Structure 1
Amino acid sequence: MPTVLKMTLRRVITLVPLLFGIALFVFVVMRLSPVNSAVSALGDQATPAQIAEYEHARGLDQPAPVQFFRFVANLLHGDLGETIGVARPVSELVAQALPLTLQLTVLGVAAALLIALPLGILAALFRDRWPDQVIRVVSMAGIAIPSFWLALLMIQHLSLGLGWFPNAGYVNPSDGVGAWLQSMTLPALALAVPVGCSLARIVRTSMVEELDRDYVRTAYGAGLPPVVVVGRNVLRNALVNPLTVLGLRIGYLLGGTIIIEAIFTMPGMGTLVMQAVGTNDTNLAQGTILVIAFCFVVVNLLVDVLYLFANPRLRGGH
């Protein structure tokens, strides 16, 4: 597939200036922050001489372009700086927190697909009939529910009320897959419901468009069973557009983990962001936001590549 490979390579090349732009944007935003990292580290009683010494030791007294290029050089070596106060490498904290956030995001995507595909397919197959109307109402309700409110409702009813799931904390998969799934189910569902309901409407629209095409009527006229027509042809072609939208929704899931992790007291990237905000730690905030943004860009690149392979018009250079 020469055309697909060429377009994939083009996507990868465009990733470099995009990541550079993200690093520049985060750097500028953090430098515009009214928080003084020297005061945050030394305290309000620090003298001007102490502040100047702190800034000189870390190069904060140098021109902004010099700071930025040194910042980029450190990024290329995996150095995200150190936390303010108790100096700990930010990359070390991120390495501990990122796996949990990625696990939660992957489970959220899986749960969203389990919601979106059945609802979207059923709504399309029974369009303008009562199952379609019910699914539309359910989808609108799911889209309208904020993730944090849904998380609180599930904690109240499914955790504290029925005792089916823990209301907080995180269990490592190495300590037991069952316990890990129990600790991740409610956070993943809180993230997945709005995304899944939103995707369900897109799946329905794509399915309806495919069902109205001539090749479907021809397949039915040739005597092919509906299961074969829908499962082998219609569904495969209809999922191309939802796949593209899914990449953007994954960014929503990554951002949503910040609040959800705080609600469920989970030591992920969201907890690091909240910790950085609470302690005015600009280095920690900068590092965590950069990593989350980079993950979002890389995930969208992977989704774009999957789209190129899934789109029949791009196969074989056509």
Structure 2
Amino acid sequence: MAVVARMLARRILILIPLLLGVILFVFVIMRFSNNKPEYAYFQGANPTTEQIHQFQVENGLLDPLPVRYVRFVGDLLHGDMGTSVLTKAPVLDSVVTALPLTLQLTFLGLAVAVALAVIFGVTAAIFRDRWPDQLIRLVSLIGVAAPGFWLALLMIQWLAVDRGWFPTSGYINPGDSLTGWLRSMTLPALSLSLPVAAQLTRIIRTSMVEELDKDYVRTAIGSGLPPIVVIGRNVLRNALINPLTVLGLRIGYLLGGAVVIETIYALPGMGQLMINGVRDGDPAVVQGVVLTIATGFVVVNLVVDVLYLLVNPRIRSAA
């Protein structure tokens, strides 16, 4: 555990400049975007040059870029993401309101993707080069190539409009109706998870095939152990170590992809919040959403790195 603690401390130290770099990138990009806060503030009005200049001075928009960046980082350390120029509300409040739905969608999609990937990946490896394996590989290849937003539109047409099994859009809080929440989240979660499930299926299948060809598997089965016990107790556990490293990147994809899926299904999450910010020309809101998602991506990969250290004794021994 001491080795894991040292490597965890090293990862956290690396995380600090990485987050500062992410903040700098988002900050610079937003400064050079066409969405200027002074124009969003006077939206629908006809401000004079003096009014625009006064707004810029009051909000420090004329300060040098390094000064504004240091001030922005200082505000973030105090939990201040800025203020919306339209609603005059703190951006952090909007993020806190929208983030739970995005996390629900992300982790629901993750659960579906992992469950499907393990089932089909293991099945394909067991029936290697036979028709179940060939069928699963073909379907997973199609799933990898299919964009999530395209799957979302197909599901809305087939399962919501044509058959009426699920709502086409909207969100129901689980506290109001658990059944309604599941119905409102099923199509978004499937749209988000199927491409990831297809990718993980191929990775798990390859890893399982490599493990099944090892000597210890043949020895265990030859000694009389049932194949299902060997696969469940040893092969699957060893085969899932490599896919775990890919899972961190896929969780980041799910978190970012949820933004697009939320927009298609009109879910009031981070995606809808960012689209509203872009449409209304409110850069503080867009900046807050992007920073939250980018930070979540970095933190999730840190957690996956730690899990990889815990489940892989060879990495700890090397350390």
**Same topology, TM > 0.5:** yes
TM-score normalised by length of structure 2: 0.96
Measured against aligned partners, the alpha-carbon deviations of 1:251-270 in whole angstroms (never above 9, x if no partner) come to 11111112211111100000
Identity of aligned residues (%): 57
TM-superposed CA distance for 1:85, in Å, is 2.3
SS in 1 for 2:224: coil
1:134 equivalenced with 2:135 (yes/no): yes
Question: Is 2:36–2:282's contact at 8 Å kept on the other side of the alignment?
Answer: no
The superposition leaves residues 204-253 of structure 1 with CA deviations (integer Å, 9 ceiling, x where unpaired) of: 01001111112112212222211121111110111011111111111111
Measured in 1, the distance between the counterparts of 2:35 and 2:104 equals 32
Bigger mean CA deviation after superposition, 116-125 or 148-157: 148-157
Q: Deviations over 1:22-62 (max 9, x none)?
A: 11111111111133221221146221211111011111111
- Report deviation, 1:203: 0.2
With normalisation by structure 1, the TM-score equals 0.97
Partner secondary structure for residue 122 of structure 2: helix
1:40 is aligned to 2:40: yes
Letter in 2 for 1:170: Y
Does the 8 A contact of 1:4 with 1:317 survive in 2? no
Aligned to 1:173: 174
For 1:175, what is the secondary structure of its paired residue? coil
Looking at structure 2, the residues matched to 304 and 153 of structure 1 have their Cα atoms a distance apart, in angstroms, of: 36
Query: How much does 1:316 deviate?
Result: 6.2
Q: What residue in structure 1 maps to residue 123 of structure 2? A: 122
Alignment of structure 1 residues 73-152 onto 2, 5 Å: 73-152=74-153
Q: Which residue of 2 aligns with 1:236?
A: 237
Provide the residue aligned with 1:17 in structure 2: 17
Q: Is the 8 A contact 2:91 2:288 kept in 1?
A: yes
Whether the 8 Å CA contact 1:4–1:314 is kept in 2: the answer is no
Give the superposed CA RMSD: 1.3
Aligned counterpart, 1:259: 260
Distance 1:195 1:206 in 2: 17
Paired position in structure 2 for 1:277: 278
Residue 90 of structure 1, CA deviation? 0.5
Checking the alignment, whether the CA contact within 8 Å between 2:168 and 2:265 is kept in structure 1 is yes
One-letter amino acid matched to 2:23: A
Q: CA deviation at 1:294?
A: 0.6
CA distance in 2, matches of 1:86, 1:135: 50
Q: How many residues align?
A: 318
Instruction: Determine the C-alpha separation between the residues in 1 that align with 2:125 and 2:14.
Output: 37
Deviations 1:123-176 (A, max 9, x none): 111111111101111101111221111111111111122221111111111112
- Shift, 1:315, TM fit: 4.6
**Cα distance, 1:86 vs. partner?**
2.6
- Asked if 2 retains the 8 angstrom alpha-carbon contact of 1:101 and 1:269, the reply is yes
What is the CA–CA distance in structure 1 between the aligned matches of 2:214 and 2:316, rounded to whole Å?
20
CA distance in 2, matches of 1:75, 1:309: 32
Which AA in structure 2 matches 1:90?
A: V
Aligned to 1:29: 29
Find the residue that maps to 2:175 and give its secondary structure: helix
The answer as to whether partners of 2:101 and 2:268 remain within 8 angstroms in 1 is yes
Q: Which residue matches 2:224?
A: 223
Distance 1:17 1:50 in 2: 38
